[in-house]
């Protein structure tokens, strides 16, 4: 599948038997994603439907939450830069899995791929359920369980069909949906500056626990907002000139998402009275209503949210297939995950969407919303595991001083960047909460049985 410039082969532990890998680990000459599309993939995956609820979610903590946003943005950009450096040295599809396995061996690589895979399909189920709620603003679909299930499944399988049609269509859908959803968001963000009233901001420390406590509490909610910075690295094999474009797309996409988040939240804070915002179920709609009058804001934001979620589902469906694909190429996941068509791992798409669909049906049919919400919180933990392993891989090569992995002329800069990204990943983990970490560990370690099965068969 791959050809082009040579890159260092993955390290193999002396005690481990030689395992099969891809014939050529470098990206395809016919890679479908240019810089613009790769950037749209990152931005589209970071910004799903969460932006439409974030201002109300952090309003109780006061304007100190804007400080949390700024700190998180710096950490996310540091992480994006690290992914760019790692992809420049090994531009294979699989991103965090590839980096963890190259540095620490098969087991670390498997844990990274397994953890990331769980994140993708559980998150897709959550997006589909949320999409039903937004669609209910336009059409009364939420009053029937059967209709809700049908709509949620449609939101999952339509992006899956776009993926099965090939990466060319994935990129096109991602680019269009990213542009369409950003237009209304940017309109609200920029127009809000003209209607901004400082009296609406409310207190700096809304929860009365001091600015540090308020910032940390707000960060626990905001942390999940930046998951997706690894999107370009995950699909590096489909990005043209990945040594340059993965890093650029990661930074540009993360920065663009941060600007939209910050401006949007600031605009809502300044146009909706704090007392109203704390209890708002549609903060951007309330902001539009406050700026222009009328009640058409709810319809506008519902459409923007649906477009945003469709784009996020499109991008995350591809990522859900890429993680097991890369691991399967190395014999760590079942070989069926290597089946592909037009650059897309078809088996991975179908299995991932099927699992997300089953979880969606369970949510609606059983009414087990509490359990479902817990699973969604677990994704904060499962997404952070690959981040920690990737940043640890960067630090590993720096400590070893591997000349083929590290630019010695920039050793101090890269060390500071790597430590910052590692610290950011730990903060993500802490923000998940004790319950999510506990259950996330159970999800993670359940995959050990899969690893044992694959490793045992490979030795035979």
The whole-angstrom separation of Cα 227 and Cα 44 is 11
- Give the sign of the dihedral formed by CA 419, CA 421, CA 427, CA 430: negative
Please report the beta strands in 273-364, taking only residues with DSSP state E, as ranges in sequence order: 340-341, 344-345
Q: In which residue are the tokens 């934001």 written?
A: 301
Residue 49: predicted pLDDT: 64
Nearest to 79 by CA among 220, 242, 253: 253
Contact 356, 128 (CB under 8 A): yes
Residue 391: predicted pLDDT: 93
Cα–Cα separations (whole angstroms), residue 69 to 221, 227, 392: 10, 14, 24
What residues have CB less than 8 Å from 431, skipping those under 6 apart?
219, 220, 223, 224, 380
What is 308-331 written as a DSSP string? Answer: HHHHHHHHHHHHHHHHHHHHHHTT
- Quote the mean pLDDT of the chain: 78
DSSP letter, residue 27:
P
Range from 29-38, 182-191, 201-210, 223-232 carrying the lowest mean pLDDT: 29-38
DSSP letter, residue 37:
H
Radius of gyration of the chain (CA): 22
Q: How many CB atoms lie within 10 A of CB 37?
A: 25
- Tell me the backbone φ, ψ of residue 208, rounded to 5 degrees: 70, 20
Cα–Cα separations (whole angstroms), residue 66 to 6, 45, 125: 44, 22, 29
Residue 27: predicted pLDDT: 44
pLDDT at 236 over 80: no
Residue 111: predicted pLDDT: 93
pLDDT at 411 over 60: yes
The whole-angstrom separation of Cα 364 and Cα 245 is 41
Instruction: Give the pLDDT band of residue 105 (cuts 50, 70, 90).
Output: very high
pLDDT at 267 over 50: yes
Instruction: Give the pLDDT band of residue 13 (cuts 50, 70, 90).
Output: very low
Residue 433: predicted pLDDT: 73
Q: In which residue are the tokens 């499962």 written?
A: 382
Nearest to 183 by CA among 45, 320, 47: 47
Instruction: Give the pLDDT band of residue 240 (cuts 50, 70, 90).
Output: confident
Nearest to 64 by CA among 180, 195, 199, 212: 212
Question: First vs last Cα of the chain: how many Å apart?
Answer: 27
What is 374-426 written as a DSSP string? Answer: HHHHHHHHHHHHHHHHHHHHHHHHHHHT-TTT--GGGHHHHHHHHHHHHHHHH
Query: In terms of residues, how long is the chain?
Result: 460
Range from 210-214, 243-247, 405-409, 445-449 carrying the lowest mean pLDDT: 405-409
Residue 261: predicted pLDDT: 83
Looking only at the bridges linking them, the beta strands covering 340-341 and 344-345 are: antiparallel
Structural domains in the chain, sorted by start: 36-459 (1.20.1740.10)
| pLDDT tens by residue, 287-336 | 888 888 776 777 777 787 788 788 778 778 887 887 788 888 888 898 88
Residue 370: predicted pLDDT: 53
pLDDT at 4 over 60: no
The whole-angstrom separation of Cα 23 and Cα 213 is 52
The whole-angstrom separation of Cα 67 and Cα 73 is 10
């Amino acid at each position: 599948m791959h050809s082009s410039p040579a890159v260092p082969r993955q390290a193999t532990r002396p005690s481990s038997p030689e395992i099969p890998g891809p014939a050529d680990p470098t990206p395809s000459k016919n890679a479908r994603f240019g810089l613009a599309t790769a950037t749209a993939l990152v931005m589209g995956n970071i910004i799903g439907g969460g932006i439409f609820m974030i201002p109300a979610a952090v309003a109780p903590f006061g304007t100190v939450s804007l400080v949390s946003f700024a700190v998180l943005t710096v950490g996310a950009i540091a992480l994006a830069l690290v992914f760019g450096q790692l992809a420049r040295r090994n531009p294979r599809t699989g991103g965090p899995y590839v980096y963890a396995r190259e540095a620490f061996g098969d087991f670390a690589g498997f844990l990274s791929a397994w953890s990331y895979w769980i994140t993708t399909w559980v998150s897709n189920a959550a997006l589909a359920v949320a999409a039903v709620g937004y669609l209910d603003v336009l059409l009364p679909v939420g009053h029937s369980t059967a209709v809700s299930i049908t709509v949620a499944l449609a939101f999952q399988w339509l992006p899956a069909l776009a993926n099965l049609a090939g990466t060319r269509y994935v990129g096109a859908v991602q680019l269009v949906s990213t542009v369409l959803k950003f237009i209304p968001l940017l309109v609200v963000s920029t127009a809000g500056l003209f209607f901004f009233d400082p009296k609406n901001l409310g207190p700096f420390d809304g929860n009365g626990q001091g600015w540090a406590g308020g910032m940390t509490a707000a960060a626990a909610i905001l942390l999940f907002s930046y998951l997706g910075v690894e999107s370009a690295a995950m699909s590096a094999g489909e990005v043209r000139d990945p040594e340059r474009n993965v890093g650029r797309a990661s930074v540009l996409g993360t920065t663009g998402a941060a600007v939209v988040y910050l401006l949007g939240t600031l605009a809502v804070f300044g146009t909706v009275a704090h007392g109203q915002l704390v209890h708002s179920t549609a903060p951007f709609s309330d902001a539009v209503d406050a700026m222009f009058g009328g009640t058409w804001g709810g319809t506008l934001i519902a459409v923007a949210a649906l477009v945003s979620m469709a784009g996020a589902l499109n991008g995350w469906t591809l990522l859900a297939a890429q993680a097991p694909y890369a691991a399967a190429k190395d014999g760590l996941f079942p070989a069926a995950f290597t089946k592909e068509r037009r650059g897309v791992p078809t088996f991975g798409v179908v299995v991932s969407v099927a699992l997300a669909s089953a979880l969606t049906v369970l949510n609606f049919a059983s009414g087990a919303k509490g359990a479902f919400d817990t699973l969604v919180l677990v994704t904060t933990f499962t997404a952070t595991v690959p981040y920690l392993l990737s940043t640890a891989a960067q630090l590993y090569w720096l400590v070893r001083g591997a000349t083929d992995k590290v630019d010695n002329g920039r050793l101090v800069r890269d060390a500071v960047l790597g430590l910052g990204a590692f610290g950011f990943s730990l903060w993500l983990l802490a923000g998940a909460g004790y319950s999510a970490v506990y259950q996330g560990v159970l999800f993670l370690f359940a995959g050990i049985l899969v690893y044992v099965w694959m490793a045992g068969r490979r030795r035979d």
